[in-house]
Amino acid sequence: MGGDAVDLEVGGRSVRITHPDRVYFPARGETKLDLARYYRSVADGIVRALYERPCMMHRFPSGVTGEKVHQKRLPRGAPPWVETVRVHFPRYDRTADELCVTEAAQVVWAVQMSTVEFHPWNSRRADTEHPDEWRIDLDPMPRCGFDTVRRAARVAHEVLAELGITGWPKTSGGDGLHVYVRIEPRWDFADVRRAAHAFAAEVERRAPDAVTTAWWRRDRDPDKVFVDYNQNARDHTIASAYSVRGSPEARVSTPIRWDEVDEVDPRDCTIATVPQRFTEMGDLHAGIDEVAHSLDTLLEWADRTGLDR
């Protein structure tokens, strides 16, 4: 099963897709080739989201209902134009040469290697130890409805506005929402996480009936949204903007406007719908690199409330 290989033109390069007819997403029958064409259709957006970041690949060699492989090291046999960045893992005293995207053909090559999801670091190749991105992960607990996620997002937006910070929202590709903020790369992962914790605590203070920051899962109210500040810790990654998720419906982590928070249904954001949205609206995160914000105020909050590093 899989049919003849297909050569896909991507940004002036030819990328061969083998087994193009292999069904990856059973809900509507989308194939490996459909996935590759999706990423080509949102090329500017996915490259911007991954640009020069160490990137973990979530591979599904037989489709999303089969085995999932968390791939840190670049698979062997990559063409010379696929770039990498070496990162160190102190716990194991090991290094890994991870995918480092600078052009769309590298993304489509990763699809050829059965990658569905792209999970980049929040730092870049030039200085992997100092993040330039703060991630606000609004993660609903098991009984939490999406209306509660929407409320948490509105409160987060309110706090960001008071801080003079621009946040860039997107669906998670699951049941939550993410907000990304570009920051000055002046702080290490511990300080970025501490600032994120202080922000999460303020969101919880303003919406205690909807939001939790409890560290242990067993202590979290199942009806609330967890503002997961831990996603800013070193080597923690979440799906990028425009990353497809490993769901049968091929959901996409999709940039949205703030005025869409109250109406968006994440189930509607799939590889079947996002390309047209991208054509009509462009990349809603296109301006994300224009301003980098300071974490000084949030770190002052963390100091004042005694949050640990």
pLDDT digits (tens, 9 = 90+) for 122-132: 999 999 999 99
**Cβ(99)–Cβ(107) below 8 Å:** no
pLDDT score for 93: 87
The yes/no answer on whether domain 6-120 falls in CATH 3.30.2290.10 is no
- Strand-pairing partners, residue 57, are 71, 118
Q: Strands 54-59, 115-120: parallel, antiparallel or unpaired by DSSP?
A: antiparallel
CATH of 133-235+290-305, one of 3.30.70.3300, 3.40.50.1820, 3.40.50.620, 3.40.720.10: 3.30.70.3300
The tokens describing 256, both together, are 């949205």
- Strand-pairing partners, residue 183, are 293
Phi–psi pair at 10, nearest 5 degrees: -140, 105
pLDDT digits (tens, 9 = 90+) for 183-218: 999 999 999 999 999 999 999 999 999 999 999 999
Q: DSSP of the chain, one letter per residue?
A: ---S-EEEEETTEEEEESSTT-EEETTTTEEHHHHHHHHHHTHHHHHHHHTT-EEEEEE-TT-TTS--EEE-SPPTT--TT--EEEEEETTTTEEEEEEE--SHHHHHHHHHTTEEEEEE-SSBTTBTTS-SEEEEEEEE-TT--HHHHHHHHHHHHHHHHHHT---EEEE-SSSSEEEEEEB-TTS-HHHHHHHHHHHHHHHHHH-TTTEE--SSGGGS-TTSEEE-GGGGSTT---PPTT-B-SSTT-BB--B--GGGTTT--GGG-BTTTHHHHHHHH--TTTTTTS--B--HHHHHHHHHHT---
pLDDT score for 306: 85
* CB count in 10 Å sphere of residue 146: 16
- Could you tell me which of 258, 248, 302 has the C-alpha nearest to residue 284? 258
Asked if the model's pLDDT at residue 171 lies above 50, the reply is yes
Residues forming CATH 3.30.70.3300 domain(s) in the chain: 133-235+290-305
* Alpha carbons within 13 A on the beta-carbon side of 54: 26
pLDDT digits (tens, 9 = 90+) for 270-299: 999 999 999 999 999 999 999 999 999 999
pLDDT digits (tens, 9 = 90+) for 140-155: 999 999 999 999 999 9
Would you call 189 exposed, middle or buried from its count of C-beta atoms within 10 A (0-12, 13-18, 19+)? buried
Asked if the model's pLDDT at residue 3 lies above 70, the reply is no
Residues forming CATH 3.90.920.10 domain(s) in the chain: 6-120
pTM: 0.96
Residue 1 — very low, low, confident or very high, per pLDDT cuts 50/70/90? very low
